[in-house]
Amino acid sequence: MSSAHWSRPHRPHRPVRAGLVVAGALLGLCCVGVTGLGVWNVQAVRQADAPVRETAEAFLTEVAAGDADRAYRRLCASARTRWSPVGFAAWVRTPPVVTGHQVTDVSVSTRDGKPTGTVTVRLIRDGGRSEERELPVVREDDGWRVCGDPF
């Protein structure tokens, strides 16, 4: 009897399986990256709520106190190109003047990679009349600035 040499059958290479494993790993890495980026964006937006609110509160407090010069310094560059300090002061003092405010909502989002905020406020005017307005706030010069016509 001759001894037959037994060997394991040759397994074909599995390029499809290897490709699927690599593709799965890359997909997982992409998902982790996208999730991380999303979490970072949400944190950046949430952390911006307080400074956006504080900027709007300070601006409106100064307007209500008649301190147009300080309020003017809180305006963004584009708003300052539309308003001179004298023109802004005259506008602030034009009846019915703002005598108080109440922030009712703050929202922050990113637009073109830049955080922007909208503060919804109830303006109280002399005579007791009130109205709701949206005050846009933008990130500029390492701080937040009011950018728009709030009245």
Task: Say how many domains are in the chain.
Answer: 1
Q: Smallest Cα–Cα separation from 99: which of 77, 74, 130?
A: 130
Any domain includes 43: no
CATH number at residue 99: 3.10.450.100
Q: Smallest Cα–Cα separation from 54: which of 124, 146, 134?
A: 146
User: Using one digit for the tens of pLDDT, what is the confidence trace for 23-32?
Assistant: 666 665 554 5
In angstroms, rounded to a whole number, what is the distance separating the alpha carbons of residues 65 and 151?
15
pTM (two decimals): 0.69
The stretch 134-143 carries a mean pLDDT of 93
Any domain includes 100: yes
Q: Are 99 and 61 in contact (CB under 8 A)?
A: no
Polymer length of the chain: 151
Any domain includes 59: yes
Any domain includes 11: no
User: Using one digit for the tens of pLDDT, what is the confidence trace for 86-101?
Assistant: 999 999 999 999 999 9
Please give the residue that has the higher pLDDT: either 33 or 69.
69
Any domain includes 63: yes
Q: Which domain holds residue 118?
A: 49-146
The stretch 125-146 carries a mean pLDDT of 94
Residue 78 has pLDDT above 60, yes or no: yes
